[in-house]
Structure formats: structure tokens, C-alpha cells
A and B are shown apart, each in its own frame.
Chain A
């Protein structure tokens, strides 16, 4: 009988890796690579169109207001205000289960919507019962280690 042999383990596909997009294959892998580079340098940024002056987020390679592809990266104001929050206590996704449970919050930074953003962040070591709408939070860069030697960056929120 003919036999074929499969490897001992089949690695998980990158589709379950929340941060696969920023694998540093270089700036060519995504046109908004600068966003990730900024994160690695300690800055969470939004884009401002050089032509019409509008602010936009999430990062993308064209201003959706005037179609210009000329934009600047601007640091999002460090402190913002909680618009809503909850916590993920049951039904954890794969990989996420490694750092769940946690608080999830939507917060507004700067003068939203004209000159600021409304973004979602997770909050570690925080009891959701200690929070309320309107609380001030800061964004903070978070270092993601793994799998293996890989190091990447994202952001989370911290109560101030």
C-alpha cells in the first residue's frame, strides 16, 4: 500500500494571529506600514490629509474625503474619555484566550469627530465595576512578544 507522511504538527495559519499584518517584511507589505513603524517608536497615530485637512482613521492609503494620497501622520492626543465599555468574560477567540478576560472600551481622543478619533482598546488589570462613562484614559503602547522571537506592537488603554 502506498503511504504518504504528514508533518508531526501543522502550524496554525496566520488567520488566527491578530497582528499578522504588521510582520515586518518591510514597508511594501502594506501601504500603511508607517502606522506600525510609529507604534514601534511609541506613537499611536492618525492621518491628516495634506490637501483637505481632514483627519481619518483607521489608516488607509487615500483620503476618503478628497481622494488625495498625500497625508501626514499625527500623534493621537494621549488622553481621552470613555464613551462606552464592557468586558469579554466568556466566549474567547483563539489566541485572544491567552490574555483574556479583559475590559473593552471605546474612547474618544481629541476633538471627535472633526479633530480626533473614536477608537477601541482593551484594558488589562482593570475591574469593569471600577469604571464609568466619562472616565479619562490614556493610550499606551503594548509590546507583543511571540510566537517565538517575534516582537510587535499595538496599543491598549490605561485609566488615568
Chain B
């Protein structure tokens, strides 16, 4: 396999944007092209766009050629739109990595985008409800907040996790998010603010939830041979894998056990010969505060059941055991489904390049992990990014 690098990155402001889906694609594309002034668009041979539900939120299908044209690209190797709800963006990066690593592609553009705010916010909720087995599990009103609320309830029941511990996750997100000029919610939020915010789905309150967000991000991904044409600070994509073991409520068993993530993380550590202790930055999928707590555990940062304690002890802050979500995570950035995975890669790239505010900079970081979950946490996805060039990567048994 060839070495693959992120050599450029761009992002839009996230939030309730006065911009169309196409505007967002163009804005992220322009930010990317401004970041890589040496790029000749003719060299872009592949194009991947992570977009979860453009057909529902903007009634537009077949978005890959549309977005490529908007950006002035005429890709000729691998072109795809990727969809897996909340993880759509990360999958676009994985496909670009594979295409370039295989030698089929040399220069690929990745975009992640979602336009979720429309005149019909209730229709947005309907659309998001369909990520489960719609007919039998979710169509009667099981949106994400009550589902993750039940995960939180089980975690509290089994391990004594508290609402205060959940609130700390949001307080941390606000602390770093306040130093992220692209985030949807840049206000600092205290633990007390979280505890007194409106109940959305008990025990989750407004500030325990990520938002409904418009936004996009873009990356330029090339082979090692081409990387130096565009940057002196490539970010190496070590790669990553995915895992799903169950989709319906009936197959999920104990809701607070995320077995797919537990086994996925083990496989990632084996495959890439690293340990959880090697990870300096983890951009994880904190779609709700409870998600981040379960992720500390399933990613092996702490023992099962000790996620609440982990944040209480400050282990997930910058300067702790591992800096988790120095970007502010989904809680502060908002969560435009298709854009989130690409935003995480953007964040790790900017961290490695030292181009983020001092207040959320993880100094000396060399290895970054990006995690997404999709749907009702049935499907998990991990990518690894490094400042150090990979040596002789081989996958096999």
C-alpha cells in the first residue's frame, strides 16, 4: 500500500446558516482551494462526498457529479457519494484513502456536507428518525435524543454515572468550543447551565445534545509522491476500519454496551500496532454527552463503567491522559451529519499544523484518532491520523 496524506483542508462556519446545500459545498471547496494554492484542479482524479440525506433535506439526489461540477472538478478515477447517516463524512475519507493507497488515484478531493435547517424542522426530525429500522423500531417517534437518553439511563443504573458527570462533558466542549471560530455554539457553558437547561428526553437536557446544523468541510488527499507539491506539513492517514454487529433494538441487548465499538477499537489497536495510551488527540462522536462517556470506555481509555470518573478526574481534557474533542466536539460544533467526520479530520490537521487557538491546542500531539458512530450507535467507524510518516503498512492476518 502507498502512503496517503491530507495535504489541504477547508471548512465553513457551522450553524443555522443562511446558505443552501450547494452554497455550503462551494464555501468548503473555496476554503480548501485557498489552503492549497498550488493545486491544478485538472490533477484531481477522484472525488468523494459524504452526505447523509440531501434527498430529504434539499430534495437533491445524485450529488457527486453535481458537487464536482460546482467545484470545477472533472474526476476520472473513483467518484462516489457516501452515506451512513452521522458517519457519512468519515466514510468518504476512508474511500479516498483506499483509492490513493491502492494506486488507482493520485489526487482526491473529499467533501462532507449537510444542510439540516429548513423551514420544516419537524420534517428534519422525521428524516433523522429513519436511521433505525424505520418500519419496526423508529418510525413511531424514536428519534436520537430518547434513544441516547435510554443509554444514559442504563449507564446510570449499572455504574452510578451521574447527570453532573454528563454535564462536565458539555462544560469541556464549551471551554474548547469557545476557542473555535467555526463552531455553532461558541458560548462557554457551565455544569450548572447544563443541569438547569430544558429537558429534551430525560435524563438528557438541551445542553446534553448536539444541534441541528448546516455546514461543510473539505480535504485534499494525495499519495506521498504528490504530497510535497502542496504542503510541507502533510498529515498522514494511517487508515481505519468499521464494525456493525446489530441494527435493530431486538439485537442490541444491553443498551449501554457498545460491543461494535469495543471490538472495533481492539481491531484498530491490533491492526495498527498501537495502544490507547499512544493516542494524543481523540475526536470522538459526542452527539450526546453520554456518548462521549461510553466512548472513553469502549475505546479503552478507561475501564467499562468508569467513564464518568474519567472526565471527573480531568483525564479527557488537554493535559490529561488523552485530549478528547479539543475542537469542542459535536456538542459545541453542531453536527451536520455528512460534514462531521470531515470536520474531525480538519481539526486534527489544524492541530498538527499548529493552526488552532492556543486555548485548545494540544502541543506535541503526534497521533490522532477520529471516531464516529451512526444511527442508534449500531455502527462504529475509526480513522487514525499521524504526524509521523507510516512505515511499511501491511494489513493481513
Please state if B133 and A58 are interface contacts (CB–CB under 8 Å). yes
Q: A85-B150, A86-B153, A91-B125 are in contact. Are A122 and B249 (CB under 8 A)?
A: no
A118 at the interface (CB under 8 A from B): yes
Looking across the interface, which residue of chain A has its beta carbon closest to that of B121?
Answer: A91
The 8 A CB mask of A57-98 against B (1 = contact, 0 = none) is 111000000000000000000000001111111111111110
The 8 A CB mask of B136-154 against A (1 = contact, 0 = none) is 1111111101110111011
Contacts of A58 in B (CB 8 A): 133, 135-137, 248, 250
Segment with Cβ contacts to A, from B68-76, B163-171, B198-206: B198-206
Interface residues of B in 144-191 (CB under 8 A from A): 145-147, 149-151, 153-154, 157
Which single member of A85, A88, A102 contacts B153 (CB below 8 Å)?
Answer: A85
Please state if B253 and A104 are interface contacts (CB–CB under 8 Å). no
Please state if A104 and B150 are interface contacts (CB–CB under 8 Å). yes
Contacts of A89 in B (CB 8 A): 199-202
A18 at the interface (CB under 8 A from B): yes
Looking across the interface, which residue of chain A has its beta carbon closest to that of B144?
Answer: A91
Give the size category of A's interface with B: 35 or more
The listed residue with most B CB atoms (<10 A of its CB), out of A21, A94, A120, is: A120
Contacts of B202 in A (CB 8 A): 86-87, 89, 128
Please state if A120 and B201 are interface contacts (CB–CB under 8 Å). no
Contacts of A93 in B (CB 8 A): 122-123, 125-126, 128-129, 141, 143
B255 at the interface (CB under 8 A from A): yes
Nearest chain B CB to A110 CB, angstrom units: 11
Q: Name A's interface SS.
A: mixed
A119 at the interface (CB under 8 A from B): yes
The 8 closest A-B pairs by CB, nearest first: A86-B149, A58-B136, A84-B150, A18-B139, A93-B125, A93-B126, A94-B122, A86-B146
Interface residues of A in 83-139 (CB under 8 A from B): 83-97, 100, 102, 104, 106, 113, 117-120, 122, 128, 133
Interface residues of B in 97-149 (CB under 8 A from A): 120, 122-123, 125-126, 128-129, 133, 135-143, 145-147, 149
Q: Name B's interface SS.
A: helix
Which single member of B128, B139, B141, B252 contacts A88 (CB below 8 Å)?
Answer: B141
A52 at the interface (CB under 8 A from B): no
Contacts of B198 in A (CB 8 A): 90
A33 at the interface (CB under 8 A from B): no
Which residues in A have some Cβ–Cβ distance to B below 8 Å? Answer: 15-16, 18-19, 21, 56-59, 83-97, 100, 102, 104, 106, 113, 117-120, 122, 128, 133, 154
Looking across the interface, which residue of chain A has its beta carbon closest to that of B138?
Answer: A120
Can you give 24 contacting A-B residue pairs, CB < 8 Å?
A: A57-B248, A58-B133, A58-B137, A84-B151, A85-B153, A86-B153, A88-B146, A91-B145, A93-B123, A93-B125, A93-B126, A93-B128, A94-B125, A96-B125, A100-B141, A104-B141, A104-B142, A104-B146, A106-B249, A118-B249, A118-B250, A118-B252, A118-B253, A120-B140
- Report the separation of the CA atoms of residues A86 and B133 in the bound assembly, to the nearest whole angstrom: 19
Nearest chain B CB to A1 CB, angstrom units: 27
